[in-house]
Amino acid sequence: MLHDVLGSLVAVVAFAVVLYAPGYVVAYAVDLFGFRQMGFADRSLWGIACSFCVAPITAYLVGRGAGLNGICWLFALSAAVALLLLALRSNKTVWSRRDRWVTALLACGWIAFVLLMLVDLQAGNKLYFSVVMADQSYRIAFTDAIVRTGIPPANPLYFAGAPAPMRYYYFWYVLCAAVVKLAHVSARQSFIASSIWAGFGLLATVTLYTRHFFRWERRQRWIALGLLFVTGADLIPAVGNAILQPTLNGDIEWWSVDPIDAWPDSLLWVPHHTASVLCCLLALLLLWRTRESISRGARHWAVALAAVAFASAFGLSVYVAFGFALLMLAWLLRLAALQHPQRLALFQRVAVAGILSALLLSPFLWELAAGHARTAVAIGSHTSSPATHLFSISVRRFIDSGLLTGLPVFAAWNHAHPVLLDQSIRLLLLLPGLAMELGLYGAVLVLLLLRKHRTPTRDVDARDTSLFFVLSGLVMTIFLSSSVITNNDFGYRAVMLPQFFLTLLAADVLGSWWTAGSAQVVTITPGRRRLLYSLLALGVAGSLYGAVLLRAWLPIEAARPQSSFHDLPRDAFEAREAFAALNKLASSNAVVAFRPIDAPLDRHGEVITADEFDQRIKVMDTGRQMLNAERECATQFGGDPSQCPEIQQSSLQLYASPAPSAEWAHEFCNRFGVQYLVISHHDPTWGSSMGWPATLPPVAQQQHLKILQCAEDIRR
């Protein structure tokens, strides 16, 4: 535990080389919006923002030609230049002492919070992992794959005889891999630190928007930052689930089928998607500021950086970038309909930025297209199934429609028109679901829409634009969903775009109430005050409950009698120990196989089962190429799916009881290029006194987990 804490802190410092220095140097070189004359605080804000824009796409392009070492040298050089510029720059600043202290406390508090949420808590020979590990395990494996295999990385979750290039948005993992090399930390520690820096990026972006989009005073800026830690009304259904379900949900957001995550949740679970949102928002801010009276050169540099930002956003999250492109198109159409005086100029700048970003992304787009083409050929040669659509039109499910569609009153309709019934019930439950998800922010949105008049202020353009992005973004993510996998990844991630502007609008309303002499955005009444303050208190309580739940879920569930999660803390510790021992003996290029678990049809109220958590532990700790980490084969990340049925069938035979012989296991390993087999007490063959589990030589062994060598590790 202490090793992970110290390693993560080292990685936090190293991330400054990646997500502070490059943007600082670029902004200084082009003198972005008078960057050279700014105080240290403003330069740091723009330095972080520009780094989020330029670092991902730059690292990717450099990495394709010069590898990970080339990326590290580039970032190290930018850090040296940034340090020189900081040393030569005057220390004169308008940053007040109070703001310095508050900022330092906020940064240290955020670092401590993330470490508390993500580092495994150790108690003797048990590791109590955070629920977030369920998703982070894959992202850590992707980061490790880049360290081992370069750019583009090999898909670490599937091996059909040879490494398969990953066809997935992986720019964030390139940055994490660079920190692994620069700081000599583990992929796990680097990824924990990346959540911390994603939070720094969000704080910087909100501050820049409050200064250059809304142009607020100091008090409203701090209100906006404070609202980032306030969730919706999730506490109400979450407590209901805790009472009615046999097991606790591991996350407060899991009461909903398609949730709108609070900002801390998004930063912990999906920092790469959050980083993509920040790049999109910064691209918009750069284009927004081209409306000001600035020099022609400054306008050109702003457009160029907006293009770089969108290119980075696409490589960080395709779903977020696609949603942002739709919103920008809608915004331009609105400007045209309103006959905005700068509509043609803005359209030209957006078009130029789009073309430049497409040119920057052309190698990555070619990668994705080539990967999809190879997959389509492999699928087409074995099945006549049509290609899967990326998106579909469907009503978003906040509240599970299955709660009503199974009622006897709907039996006939469910038999004759099940899809129509499901969509109708979803539509019926849409508003109450939104009310629970948005809470305070939903009430603010309703109050803004019900305003009888609008006060003409200098902020009206920013306020109306924000309201437009909120409404159009919510409509987009409510009725458009991704359909490649069962999860609605597009809806989960793209909704952060309108969510950002809704957070600012809430700060706009509350700030106008709490700032002396400010014109009230929404007229304050006793009823409105009680409503918003009650929802604000509920949102704060929900955030506290969510944080406690993430950390306390496993200790609570593991302590319950007859709990299926009872052994997970011990399993997590033994897996770390076993794979640490393997690291001392085996090549990092070796291939490891373990039994892919079958996802149960009846989960007994559990979102993720104990067996699935055990599988994620192995994915995270293996640190090598895996034969097949998922039951259905993880070919969505890259690889030839035509080999999947044979790998599936042979893996089932290998781990079936009674266990096959050592000779059969040797044949299995030679056929698929595997060197090491993992077996644990979760497998049917555990405890066999005959067959390969009892006769193959162990290279790492714990009480409930063994790693056995089944073929020569020729890469060692």
% of the chain exceeding 70 in pLDDT: 93
Phi and psi torsions of 472, nearest 5°: -70, -35
Tens-place pLDDT, residues 558-583: 998 888 899 999 999 999 999 999 99
Length of the chain: 716
> Above 90 in pLDDT, residue 470?
yes
Task: Point out which residues pair with 698 in neighbouring strands.
Answer: 708
- Report the half-sphere exposure of 150 (CA within 13 A, side-chain side): 10
The alpha carbon of residue 273 and the mean position of all alpha carbons in its chain are separated, in whole angstroms, by 4
Amino acid, single-letter form, for residue 9: L
The pLDDT value given to residue 92: 57
Q: Looking at residues 525-553, what average pLDDT do you find?
A: 95
Tens-place pLDDT, residues 92-118: 556 677 878 888 999 999 999 999 999
DSSP 672-707: HT--EEEEETTSTTTT-SSSHHHHSPEEEE-SSEEE
Task: Quote the CA–CA distance of 263 and 228 in Å, as a whole number.
Answer: 6
The pLDDT value given to residue 390: 73
% of the chain exceeding 90 in pLDDT: 70
Phi and psi torsions of 708, nearest 5°: -115, 145
**Three-class HEC string of 51-67:** HHHHHHHHHHHHHHHHH
Helix (H) or strand (E) holding 378: helix 343-380
Please report, for the chain, how many H helices and E strands are present, in that order.
28, 9
Tens-place pLDDT, residues 594-630: 998 766 555 555 678 888 899 999 999 999 999 999 8
Q: Is 116 exposed, middle or buried (0-12, 13-18, 19+ CB in 10 A)?
A: middle
The pLDDT value given to residue 685: 87
Alpha-carbon distances of 50 from 176, 224, 281, 314, 554, rounded to whole Å:
18, 21, 12, 16, 39
Reported confidence tier of residue 404, pLDDT bands at 50, 70, 90: confident
Task: Point out which residues pair with 121 in neighbouring strands.
Answer: 128
Range with lowest mean pLDDT among 53-57, 171-175, 607-611: 607-611
DSSP annotation of 643 reads: G
The pLDDT value given to residue 386: 40
Q: Which two tokens stand for residue 314?
A: 């696409």
**Three-class HEC string of 186-254:** CHHHHHHHHHHHHHHHHHHHHHHHHHHCCCCCHHHHHHHHHHCCCCCCCHHHHHHHHHHCCCCCCCHHH
* Averaged confidence pLDDT in the chain: 90
Reported confidence tier of residue 320, pLDDT bands at 50, 70, 90: very high
The pLDDT value given to residue 459: 40
Range with lowest mean pLDDT among 82-86, 442-446, 513-517: 513-517
Give the three-state DSSP class for 100.
Answer: helix
The pLDDT value given to residue 14: 97
The beta-carbon contacts of 430-435 under 8 Å, at least 24 apart in sequence, are: 430/395, 430/396, 430/398, 430/478, 432/398, 432/399, 433/256, 433/396, 433/397, 433/398, 433/399, 434/398, 434/474, 435/233
Tens-place pLDDT, residues 340-386: 888 899 999 999 999 999 999 999 999 888 766 666 555 554 443 44
Q: Is 688 exposed, middle or buried (0-12, 13-18, 19+ CB in 10 A)?
A: middle
Task: Quote the CA–CA distance of 63 and 310 in Å, as a whole number.
Answer: 19
Task: Quote the CA–CA distance of 579 and 575 in Å, as a whole number.
Answer: 6
Q: Would you tell me the crossing angle of helices 568-585 and 610-622 to the nearest 10 degrees?
A: 20
Reported confidence tier of residue 631, pLDDT bands at 50, 70, 90: confident
Q: Which two tokens stand for residue 96?
A: 């007040």
Q: Which two tokens stand for residue 186?
A: 């583990």
- Domain ranges within the chain, ordered by starting residue: 568-709
Q: Looking at residues 140-162, what average pLDDT do you find?
A: 94
